[in-house]
Amino acid sequence: MTDNHPERTRELGVEFGDLYSKLREHGYPITTEELVDVYGEDAIQLPWGSTLIKEVLDPIATETYESPAEAREAIFNMVDSRAIGRKYYSDRTPPALGERRQDEQLSF
């Protein structure tokens, strides 16, 4: 990959870093147990911190993944609420009746 087009390693609030290319280049199929054995000490970055792959995938019963996309999907399904950023936040919905947003300016 050239410097002009860096590889995208962030997806759905999860920054995979080097793990993204490691998963892409790994041979498939692979089981959850094998993923943890090989990549368990690799960390993913979430908006409010990081976590190890073994911590994310440990609760899963052994599954078999046929592609890198399936392996990433398992990780997405198992990251906790730290991956979503600010809970209940939306800048697209209008404020409720009587509610004032911090970014609103008062006008007199």
Residue pLDDT, tens place only, 5-61: 346 777 667 889 899 999 999 999 999 999 999 999 999 998 778 889 999 898 777
Predicted pLDDT of residue 79: 79
pTM exceeds 0.75, yes or no: no
| Domains identified in the chain, total number | 1
Predicted pLDDT of residue 19: 93
d(CA 20, CA 72): 8
47: left (phi > 0), else alpha (psi -120 to 50), else beta? alpha
Residue at 108 is within a domain: no
Residue at 44 is within a domain: yes
pLDDT digits (tens, 9 = 90+) for 57-105: 987 778 999 999 999 998 888 876 555 555 555 556 666 666 666 655 5
Domain that residue 54 falls in: 15-84
Residue at 20 is within a domain: yes
Residue at 94 is within a domain: no
Residue at 96 is within a domain: no
Residue at 51 is within a domain: yes
Residue at 45 is within a domain: yes
Predicted pLDDT of residue 38: 95
Residue at 60 is within a domain: yes
